[in-house]
Every structure is written in C-alpha cells, then in structure tokens.
Chains A and B, each alone.
Chain A
Amino acid sequence: MSDKPAKSASSSSSKDASIRYVNLYEADDKIYIRRITGFYQRLRRYTGIPLMLGFLLMPWLVIDGRPAMLFDLPERKFHVLWLTFWPQDAMYLAWLLVISAFLLFTVTVLVGRVWCGFTCPQTVWTQMFIWAEFVCEGDRNKRIKLDAQPWNFEKIWRKSAKQAIWIAISLVTSLTFIGYFTPIRELIVGFFTIDLGLATAFWVFFFLIATYMNAGFMREQFCKYICPYARFQAVMYDKDTLTVSYNPLRGEKRGPRKSGDDYKAQGMGDCIDCSWCVQVCPVDIDIRDGLQAECIDCGLCVDACNSVMDKMGYERGLISFTTEDAIHNGKTKVFRPRLLGYGLMLSIMMGLFVYSIATRVPVGVEAQRDRGVQMYRVAGDRIINVYTLKISNMDRQTHVYDVTIEGPHKFGIDGYRPIPVVEGEVLVVPVRVEVKKADLKKKKTEIRIRARARDNAEITAFHETTFIGP
C-alpha cells in the first residue's frame, strides 16, 4: 500500500485496491478539470444562470417603495417582498429553515445530491471560476503545461487575466451580498467614491476574500471536509434514489482495446478506461469505484462518458443518472414509503407556513402594570390600575389604534386618546384602567388589553394581564 495520496493510487491501480490509505497531512494534488459539453452541462447552465440573475437583481428590486429584500440589522427589521418581519417573527425564519431542510431531504431521497451539483452556490461559483480558468489558460492539458513551464510573459498575462476575472466576480458577489443588508444603491455609490463606513468596508472586503478563496482554492475541499450536508446525505439514500452511477455489469472488465476488436469475446466490458470521467470530476473521484461521499451528482462524468461512448459507437449510459435497483434488478420504484413520508410532511408544513404568513396580524400589543408603592389607586368609588402600553405597528402603513379592555366586569379606560402610529413605530403610552369598586370581586382579575386598528378591525391583538384591587 502506498502512502501517497489516494487519488493517484486508486485511479492507476485496478478496483481491487479496496482499502485506501489517505494521508491527511499531505497537500492535495491540484485538480485539472477537463472541460466537457453535454446534456447535464447545459442543464447546469440553465439552473445556475437564473439563480445568479436572481441573486444579482433581487437587491435592486423595489416593492412598496422599499427594497424587495433588505435585512435591516440596525433597525432589526427584515423586508422580504411584500412583508416586513420584526424580531418577534423569528419563528417564521425558524420554520422556513425547517421547511428548506425537509425540501432538501425530499429532493435527496428522490434524486440524490442534485442540489450540490446544480444549484449549490459553492458549485455555481466554482463553475464560474473554472470558466475563467478555461478562458484564460485553456483546457486541462494546456493548463498542466502552463503550470509546469517557467514564468514567462505568456504565463504571467494568462495567470493575471484569470486572477483579474476571479477578483471581479468576487467583488460583484460581495457587493451584491452586502446589498442585502444595506441599501445597494448607496453602497455602490459609496464603494466607488471610497465613502463606506468602516464596518461596511470590512464586510465587503471579507466576502470578497471569502468568495475568492472558496471558489478559487477551496472548491471541492469545502464539499469534502466542511459541508455538513455531505456528512448526512448518505442516510437519506435508498436503493431507488437517482444518483450518478457507473454500471459495472456492463463496464467490466475495463481496459484499452483496438477499434474493431471483438472485445466481448476477450471478456472485456464497455469501459475503455480512458479516465475521462476522472479528469472532468470537480471533486476528483473515480465514479467507477462506486457511490462515494464526495460525489456531488453534477453529471460531468455522465457527459464525458457519453461522448466517449458515442465516439466508440457504443450505447450511451455506461455512467448515468440511475438507481441501484435499476442497475442490478432492472426496475426501480419511484413512490416508496420514505419519499411519500417526506412529501407528506413537507406539504403539511408548507401549507401551515403559508397559512400563518397569510393570517399574520401586523400589530403587537404589550402592557405592563405599574409596580409602585401601591399597585392600585383609589378615586372615589373607583379602583384604578395604571399600565404602560406598547403598540407596535408592524404594518406598512399608518394606523390609529383604539384600545379596549376585555374582562369579567365593566372596565373603563382613561388616559388613552387614539394616536396615529406610523409604520414601524412602537408607541409607548400610559393607560388608566378603572372599574367600580363594588363590581370588583377578587383581589386579582384577569383582563385583556386589546388594540384594534380603526381602519381595519382585523388588525388587532391583545395582551393578557391582571387587574389588582384591594
């Protein structure tokens, strides 16, 4: 067994090298990805480009006179499309994350790690960086040669051009990302006139570096060693999960052959061992070794193998998106309990989420009773309690709120005159709640202080509190 890195060992030796010694202390070899075209690569383009455009354009959109997507941290208000969320709405965010996780699980059960290969930002950005690499330095062989040759004018300008494109992409990314947290128009103007706050400048720079490092150098290392999804996706797989697989029944025994030979007579399979599937792999694995944790289901090896099969005049699909059952038993089940379970959970949660968002009431009421030397006040035949009332207008327009008291007796209110509360404001005002001494039965009575928008009775909320008497 060699103590060289596994990749060089496993790709050259045959598949019986079932145990690999991975030396974690050695630097990984640089991966030179061969460029390939094909169905899945077009598919990746069509999933990646809309996502990129969405990411780039979203902060520029304006809805109701404010950015469509703005996470206003200093104000602690989160403007998302037509809604504005307050910190007390954090439950929605939590549920959104749970739903996203379940969506990911469901998709994983059905089609494996297509999220990783097609839509994950790490992959999409890496793809752009690889594109820049290809444009500036050429394909795999040219790049290997370029790296091997001594520094000369050509190497310098090709490398600088690549770095320039990388940094440009990183800068656009970082400015756009920060644009989700601070109004993007001011941000862009501020950036180009060197007039950013220290904190903003730091974060722009931080995400520039982060993008550059991640997509430029970390690449598949992120998927292998850092990404938590890669750690647990395997437990969601079953025999009927679509995933990129090599068909060993058809491919083995692999090996080079002369064209025109009757390779089947020699006991050979369809795999000609050209290693293209390894050369195109962005995580540098050999799919012929079977299902691996590193595989991100991007389909590059499928396209590579198909193009080789076409050249050889063999049938396509030696490597393909298929299921374990389909390879070994020839048939596969789509609807299975696991998938149905996930699907059911997902639809229930999504339904409840949409319902709760749709019925969210954009007003918050809080009341705190005075806790002074004496908790109540006596005025003639009446008992008075004083409350500090807080009305949060979480709507996107000004409302005037009427305050009423709900309780077992006839409670009156004194000291609250309806005042317009502008959008996003929290009105703090004292209110005097009074009741006839004779009516009050107990020392402590449960009451509700309710605020209702004058122009829309549905915008209402209450706070439960107690009324103290003698």
Chain B
Amino acid sequence: MSTFWSLWIIVLTVTNLVLLLWILFANRKRAVVGDENTEAKTTGHEYDGIEEYDNPLPRWWFFMFVLTFVFTVFYLAAYPGLGSWKGFLGWTSVGELRSHQKEAETLYADTYGAYAQMPIEELAKNTDAMKMGFRLFSNNCAICHGADGGGNPGFPNLTDHDWLYGGTPEKILETITHGRVAAMPAWVGVVGEEGIVQLAEYVLKLSGSEHDDVKAEAGAKLFSANCVVCHGADGKGNETVGAPNLTDDIWLYGGDPATIRQTIRDGRAGVMPAQGELLKQDRIHLLAAYVYSLSMNDSE
C-alpha cells in the first residue's frame, strides 16, 4: 500500500471514529437536560395520536457504546487495520496459517507416525492403514490415475503389474517423492512419414497385434537403428529410463495404429509431479503402501 492510500485510510477511520464519538456525546448532553420531565419531551413525531418520547439512551446502552469505542481503539492499535500500520501484537494472517499448520501436524503426527515406522509390504496388508491410504490417494492422485488407480490415457494404470520405473516398494516411494519425467522424442525428422508407418507396424507386431508383415520388416531395421537404446533389442523396455515394454498389450497412450503412429511421429512427454515438495514423508510412505497394495489386490 502506498503512503498516500495508507494515510487516506487512517484519516478516514479516525475521522469517522471522532465523528461517532461526537454524535454520541452531543446527543447525550441534550437528553440529560430534559431528564427530569421525560413526559414533556417528545420528538414531535405523531402517528394516529401516538407520540414518540425523546428519551435519553439508557445508561447501560450508552456505556456499551463507549466500551465498543475503547475496544476499537485497542483493536486498531493491536492488529493491522489502520492503513499499513502492523499492530503492536505483530499478528499476520500468514503467521496464523503457519501456527494452524503446526497444530495440525502435531495432531496428525500420532496417526501417521505409527505407520511411518512399518515396512511398506506390511502396511499394504493393514486394513486401517489402507483406508487412510485410499483417502490420501483420492485427494492427491485420483484426478489423474482414477479413483481406483486404473489410469487414464497418458496416466499409467497402477493396478496391473506393468511398471515403467519398477514396482518394488522402494521404486514406488521414489516415483512418488521425486516424480518422473518421461520423454519419447519425436521421430518424424529422422525416419520420415514412411518410416513412421513402418515402425508402427513393427511395434504392433511386437505386441502380437494385427500388422502388415512387409512394412514391419522394414520397421524392424529402423527400430534396431533408432529405438533399441531405450526400448532394448527385444523391445522389452528399460526401467531405468522409464521406457515402456512394447511386447505386452498395455498402452499408456493407446494401442491402435493411429495412436502408435502419433506417438512415434510427435513423441510424448509424460510428467509425474514430485510429491515430496507437497506432502510430508509419512503420507508418501502411506501412499506408496497403498499403490503397492493396488497391484497386490489384483494378483489375489
């Protein structure tokens, strides 16, 4: 707030306060004079023969007003409210939020603390822990991965056994904490439109889908020249860089020829946001256990 506006507010507030005080006391004086004979004093208003007395404010009422003024002065001195004056109590809304957060932390420490000590494999079998895990998942993960963890186009299904970066508890924890950035480069500049069609037919062949054998043959050569670095010579993928296994029939962006061609032509950029910045470690621990349990449930 600039000095001018700050002063403007201060002057307005103080002037109003002084005016109100003046009104209160000015009226009180006039009324007190006529106190002896209240019946004689009327405001002059008359309606259907009913007249209105001009009585003074009752004393308790008057002092209530005075008290509110005293409170106002104290309040404006103690808290920010008068222009850019900070208030002598040093109160800020951010400070208020921080203290509430701290309070909530200590409150939840007990709840999460016990679970934070348990290994993820064990936690995944604990019904109560998994109920909490589900709530955390609903609030933080379900918007992309679905309430059931079943995934969406571009967002991996967490209930199958196919893991881009590995499905061990440690790997899941790592993925949630630090996030993942996956980059499939665009190949149209390297292999050309014809090459993209051939590569797509080969990828379809890898997964055992319908394909054109002739084009796939040509695609195989392009594949071994360009794609094996990440997806491996057998197309089984690589968990260290998050390259998907192309030989199963599980597709992150869709397994129809058009989508596959689009993936190869333009590339893909997948981002799993790092939760370590947003969530406390004990919650991530519980979340990892929940995600781990999702694939466990499926195998049963």
Judge whether A377 and B138 touch: CB under 8 Å.
no
Bound complex: CA A453 to CA B186 (Å): 54
Which chain B residues in 53-88 approach chain A with CB under 8 Å? Answer: 55, 58
CB of A253 closer than 8 Å to a CB of B: no
Bound complex: CA A374 to CA B39 (Å): 78
Bound complex: CA A386 to CA B150 (Å): 9
- The dominant DSSP class at the B interface is loop
**Cβ–Cβ < 8 Å partners of B142 in chain A:** 370, 372, 388, 430
Judge whether B150 and A372 touch: CB under 8 Å.
no
Which chain A residues in 3-37 approach chain B with CB under 8 Å? Answer: 3, 21, 23, 25
Judge whether B146 and A370 touch: CB under 8 Å.
yes
**Cβ–Cβ < 8 Å partners of A457 in chain B:** none
CB of A432 closer than 8 Å to a CB of B: yes
On chain A, which size bracket covers the interface? 20 to 34
CB of B154 closer than 8 Å to a CB of A: yes
Which chain B residues in 136-169 approach chain A with CB under 8 Å? Answer: 138, 142-144, 146-155
Judge whether B153 and A387 touch: CB under 8 Å.
no
Judge whether A373 and B154 touch: CB under 8 Å.
yes
The listed residue (B38, B58, B134, B146) touching A372 by CB distance below 8 A is B146
**Cβ–Cβ < 8 Å partners of A373 in chain B:** 144, 152-155
Query: What mask results when residues 380 to 398 of chain A are scored 1 for a CB within 8 Å of chain B, else 0?
Result: 0000101110000000000
Judge whether A372 and B135 touch: CB under 8 Å.
no
Judge whether A430 and B147 touch: CB under 8 Å.
yes
Bound complex: CA A371 to CA B148 (Å): 12
CB of A415 closer than 8 Å to a CB of B: yes
Judge whether B147 and A370 touch: CB under 8 Å.
yes
Bound complex: CA A373 to CA B270 (Å): 14
Footprint of A on B, CB under 8 Å?
38-39, 55, 58, 131, 134-135, 138, 142-144, 146-155
The listed residue (B38, B147, B153) touching A374 by CB distance below 8 A is B153
Q: Which residue of A lies closest to B137 (CB)?
A: A430
Bound complex: CA A429 to CA B152 (Å): 19
10 A–B pairs (Cβ distance < 8 Å), ordered by A: A23-B38, A370-B142, A372-B144, A373-B154, A374-B152, A377-B146, A388-B138, A388-B147, A428-B138, A430-B142
**Cβ–Cβ < 8 Å partners of B147 in chain A:** 370, 386-388, 430
Q: Which residue of A lies closest to B37 (CB)?
A: A3
**Cβ–Cβ < 8 Å partners of A387 in chain B:** 147
Judge whether A21 and B39 touch: CB under 8 Å.
yes
Q: Which residue of B lies closest to A1 (CB)?
A: B39
Closest 8 CB pairs of A and B: A430-B148, A430-B147, A388-B147, A386-B146, A386-B147, A372-B152, A386-B148, A373-B152
Assuming A388-B147, A428-B135, A430-B147, what are 15 further A-B pairs, CB within 8 angstroms? A23-B38, A370-B147, A372-B143, A372-B144, A372-B146, A372-B152, A374-B152, A374-B153, A377-B146, A377-B150, A377-B152, A386-B148, A387-B147, A388-B138, A388-B142
